[in-house]
Amino acid sequence: MSDKHAKIAGPAQGAGRVPQADPGLKYRRLRPEIDRAVARVLASGTFILGPETEAFENEFASFLQIPHVIGVGSGTDAITLALHAVGVTAGDEVLVPAMTASATAMAVRRIGAVPRLVDVESDTRAIDPDLIERAAGPRTTAVVVVHLHGLPARMNEIISIARKRSLAVVEDCAHAHGAHLDGRKVGSFGDAAAFSFYPTKNLGCAGDGGAVATRSADIAARVRRSRQYGWDRNRVCMEDGFNSRLDEIQAAMLRVFLPHLNEDNAKRQMLARFYDAELAPLAKRHALKVQFHADGHVYHQYALEIEHRDRVRAALARRGIGTAIHYSPGLHRHPLFRDNGGGESAERGFPVTDRLANSLLSLPIQPELEPHRFKVISGLSEVLASGD
């Protein structure tokens, strides 16, 4: 591969380039503390399910104000283990929004359940509460709600419909660490919630990691068993299990990052306000829509809707400005999930998901990238004005 290609394909780190996200910047900001934490774990000789993981579980539980947090191997695992723990079994149908990471639907398949895709609503970009009732069939036992881009879904409506239809609710909070609605953190509304600590998330580690949060002691106990071979306290297998554990090094790093989460989320919100204000005049002249605002939004992504998205994205890349797409295509267009959009949803199609999949563009919003904000806006203004 030539240097030129390496430059295009690799992370945009050269002079003047603005990456869409760069977890290394977060590490460098807190490097002495992180290095000490990692060294402490290595010296301790306890690498799996030790004091760091337990301390992190308690600290994250108190941050979320949810009694139980169980560290697991990834966000995908957290969704799978949460679904299993709330009682979803093979052959059950689980409602999943079509506009989400493929991991959300994949997590359903891994316990032999069948994802049933549902369109999202325009404002929140989360599963449309009005469609849940229509999509739920006799085999439907749960719904996974994704707080997309960090904006809380309409949980009150969703929970009341789910109760009426006896559906368990699992929140996919992979974008929404610290997001809140009506004074409550997301993750506390459903029967269980899944978090990912993938490096680019609002709370990320330096590898894979995840957690399940729940208010139920029974669900928590079930996740604790199934994350480790289905063992009970005496290491006796009581049921089928997985091996999905948050390791001590990741937990120790998460303990360094967690106390900074509120201030980092506040920086994301300030950056979003800046983009909102700067883009407002452009939005009038160009086909561009800024994101719906809510106080509890933690802006994992600042995702605009913009016409000619792919052309704009390429023009920004030529100016050294990295962007990303979360997500395209909609899950109903992935070959693996092609048959999962049946019934009423199929007749109606997925108009909102399709529109978003064709128009969403995520600008850099990571707190450490704040100094580049003017460059992002001037680049975007230039691209829109020139139409190149």
Ligand X SMILES: *Cc1c(COP(=O)(O)O)cnc(C)c1O
Q: Which residues bind ligand X (CB under 6 A)?
A: 74-76, 100-101, 103-104, 146, 172, 174-175, 196, 198, 208, 210
Burial of 297 (0-12, 13-18, 19+ CB in 10 A): buried
Whole-number Å distance between alpha carbons of 331 and 339: 10
Nearer to ligand X, 81 or 377 (CB): 81
Q: Are 272 and 365 in contact (CB under 8 A)?
A: yes
Nearer to ligand X, 288 or 352 (CB): 352
Q: Which helix (H) or strand (E) holds 95?
A: strand 93-97
Nearer to ligand X, 175 or 297 (CB): 175
- List the strands of the sheet with 360-363, edge to edge: 288-289, 302-306, 360-363
Least distance from ligand X to the Cβ atom of residue 82, Å: 11
Nearer to ligand X, 136 or 331 (CB): 331
Least distance from ligand X to the Cβ atom of residue 138, Å: 27
Where are the alpha helices (H) located in the chain, listed in sequence order? 3-9, 23-29, 31-44, 51-64, 75-85, 102-109, 129-135, 155-164, 217-226, 248-257, 261-285, 309-318, 343-348, 351-359, 373-386
Q: Which two tokens stand for residue 214?
A: 């729940």
Least distance from ligand X to the Cβ atom of residue 3, Å: 31
Nearer to ligand X, 151 or 380 (CB): 151
Nearer to ligand X, 196 or 315 (CB): 196
Least distance from ligand X to the Cβ atom of residue 109, Å: 13
Angle at 254 between CA 14 and CA 291, to 5 degrees: 60
Least distance from ligand X to the Cβ atom of residue 378, Å: 29
Least distance from ligand X to the Cβ atom of residue 352, Å: 17
Nearer to ligand X, 272 or 383 (CB): 272
Quick check: helix, strand or coil at residue 297? Answer: coil
Can you tell me which residue has the tokens 């590490």?
A: 27
Nearer to ligand X, 64 or 279 (CB): 64
Least distance from ligand X to the Cβ atom of residue 79, Å: 6
Least distance from ligand X to the Cβ atom of residue 238, Å: 26
Whole-number Å distance between alpha carbons of 82 and 166: 17
Q: Are 156 and 182 in contact (CB under 8 A)?
A: yes
The residue at minimum Cβ distance from ligand X is 75
Whole-number Å distance between alpha carbons of 193 and 248: 22
